[in-house]
Chains A and B, each alone.
Chain A
């Protein structure tokens, strides 16, 4: 029995498509994981910096002639620097 077009080609095709789909899926999921990682990273960083910010504020308030706005400005800069140190800036990874 001779077959011109083997029916075995179909499952092969499906298999290849599945592999492509799987690669695409992994890629998507990889992107997703990456995104979640980055977000969680940032959130954790923010979480940890909360204590740093208030600690810094208490310390700065003890300096002579300090006022609230000056201190808040300094802390803003301090937190920004911490963000830069952790590469959270200009959208760079």
Chain B
């Protein structure tokens, strides 16, 4: 018995001495995850480093016992860290003062924007999955405290010391010396006029740098919004303790028509070019062409927002989105081949005749050139939520993509109903909440309306219901005893009306137009599966609606594709996490 205890204790002692010193690091689960008043995700985490079997050899003790060691079975240190994750990630390589950097981005929305069902619809009007939004950019001019259909940008008093870059203004190179002067004169005479970059005035330029920095790095820490008012009446008036809306729109859409001949491109201002344009020579003279060129200058807030966000997303995704956008052409110029050039006089004659007899639709010189970007790694964005000009909270979102929208935008359209034709045997009832004018109804882009066309179908009446099924008519049945009457209701939105206006504007009646057009309509075969647009066109045509006046605008807008997120994860791409040691506990056993 004694022997076995001795042997056993020997093994135990040997075992203890043989054990290596090991260190393990453990992380607890994140606790107290919440959002602080600046919109950063804050949480706490415990980190424990414990060293087991730590041995200390005693020098003095070696005299008495060569194996004398002090052994500590566990020495551990536990630290409690508070972690704060913000929606910016380029601060560290921006060579920027830490105070100039925060996750808060300069975008504000009014309360209710994130519950607006119109912003939760996709491009095709389909409802997006829960928690996804498409929010367009809104300019400070259009801001009202009740507008819940777009996001706006704000300006902050960003202290000048945070500026690290300066905007380079490109100047047109001026030649030196007589020869260069002569050369530039000739060059200028025989070449298309290029639009020159118009530098903004210095204060605007500062606004612009500030805005770009605020998107890239986040608002500087001194100006972070968490409460207080936002200047609504005066944009660009940010002071040390007040935030204001931001507006600089030097956006100009210049449309130039150049003259190009067989050998030379003529100067726009030259007499030759003016003659060509005045007599419209280019349309019938072979090898003389007008060259339409639409240039949207890049000094607007929209493009700055878009380019900065694309640059950020590009850095995050290691993709150059900006080079993609630069290839987007906005011009509507058409090239034509040799034969077309030769046949120009004949085709011009023919076209003129058609014009005379049938009229023509006016054409848009600017084509739609929408570009859509989808990011693999979404960019975290923090939106400031404002309620009655006062900051009420900050919402964390993920930017999953950007839709760049160039094109024409119908801003306003007035329609009138000439003579309500009957569809089937029964007339159609029309109701709309659009503004009623003397000569009809007015639909304005920013004001949403809904119009109803309802029609009752009795068992005896003829009604082509299947043709309009693409418009999703709601059917209500009524009547006693078998509910034999059916009421079809078709709903049209402002967007539908404006789209219809765009397609049908400029259809002025020509010499034979109305007579012939209606005659042809009788024999025109209706397709059985019309698109939504075709169905709307047919419906409104049958009901005698025409466009009275129509306004459109070349525009350039931006839609952010956003996704809800409750918090930013630690180390999530596109975020920066700061940590602070709150408490340390140490123990020796």
Interface residues of chain A, those whose CB is within 8 Å of chain B, are 27-28, 30-31, 34-35, 38-39, 42-43, 46-47, 49-51, 53-55, 57-62, 64, 66, 68, 72, 75-76, 79-80, 83, 88-91, 93
Contact = CB atoms under 8 A, between A and B. Distances in A.
Interface residues of B, number: 43
Contact of B51 (A46, A62, A64, A76): A46
Is chain B's interface secondary structure helix, strand, loop, or mixed overall? strand
Given A39-B72, A42-B54, 7 more contacts: A34-B59, A42-B51, A43-B588, A50-B79, A83-B23, A91-B20, A91-B55
Contacts of B57: 91, 93
9 contacts: A27-B60, A35-B58, A46-B76, A47-B77, A57-B27, A61-B572, A62-B571, A72-B27, A89-B20
A8 B53 CA distance: 52
A54 B51 contact: no
Given A46-B51, A54-B579, A88 B21 contact: yes
Interface string B4-28: 0000000000000000111111110
Contacts of B75: 39, 42-43, 46
B333 interface: no
A50 B582 CA distance: 12
B581 A50 contact: yes
9 shortest interchain CB distances as A-B pairs: A61-B571, A91-B55, A27-B60, A46-B77, A50-B79, A31-B60, A79-B25, A46-B49, A31-B58
Interface string B563-589: 000000111110001010100101010
Contacts of B76: 46
A35 B76 CA distance: 16
B579 A90 contact: no
B81 interface: yes
Given A46-B77, A51-B581, A35 B571 contact: no
A55 B45 CA distance: 12
Determine which residue in B25, B71, B76 has the highest number of CB atoms from chain A within 10 A of its CB, and name it: B25
A50, A60, A93, most chain B CB atoms within 10 A: A50
Contacts of A80: 22-23
B59 A30 contact: yes
A38 B56 contact: yes
B47 A88 contact: no
A35 B54 CA distance: 11
A80 B25 CA distance: 9
Contacts of A30: 59-60
Interface in B64-92: 69-72, 75-77, 79, 81, 83
A31 B570 CA distance: 45
B516 to A, nearest CB: 65
A79 to B, nearest CB: 5
B383 to A, nearest CB: 23
Given A50-B581, A61-B571, A62-B571, A34 B47 contact: no
Contacts of B27: 53, 57, 68, 72, 75
A61 B570 contact: yes
Interface of B: 20-27, 45, 47, 49, 51, 53-61, 63, 69-72, 75-77, 79, 81, 83, 569-573, 577, 579, 581, 584, 586, 588
Contacts of A59: 571
A38 B56 CA distance: 7
A10 to B, nearest CB: 28
Contacts of A66: 571
Most chain-A CB neighbours within 10 Å: which of B49, B81, B584?
Answer: B49
Contact of B53 (A28, A42, A54, A91): A91
Contacts of B23: 79-80, 83, 88
Contacts of A46: 49, 51, 75-77, 586
Given A42-B51, A75-B25, A90-B20, A47 B584 contact: yes
A4 B353 CA distance: 156
Contact of B69 (A42, A89, A91): A91
B51 A34 contact: no
A83 B579 CA distance: 23
B43 to A, nearest CB: 12
Residue from B59, B60, B572, B586 having most chain A Cβ neighbours under 10 A: B60
A88 B571 contact: no
Nearest to B376: A64
A72 B584 CA distance: 20
A39 B588 contact: yes
Contact of B58 (A34, A60, A72, A89): A34
Nearest to A66: B571
B21 A89 contact: yes
Nearest to B80: A50
Contact of A53 (B22, B25, B53, B71): B25
Contacts of B83: 54, 58
Given A50-B47, A91-B21, A39 B577 contact: no
A50 B71 CA distance: 23
Contacts of B572: 61-62
B56 A43 contact: no
A61 to B, nearest CB: 2
Given A43-B77, A54-B81, A35 B56 contact: yes
A91 B31 CA distance: 36
A60 B571 contact: yes
Given A50-B49, A58-B570, A34 B56 contact: yes
A51 B47 CA distance: 9
Nearest to B57: A93
Q: Which of A49, A59, A62 has the most CB of B within 10 A?
A: A62
B250 to A, nearest CB: 37
A4 to B, nearest CB: 37
B293 to A, nearest CB: 43
Contacts of A43: 75, 77, 586, 588
Contacts of B81: 50, 54
A59 B572 CA distance: 10
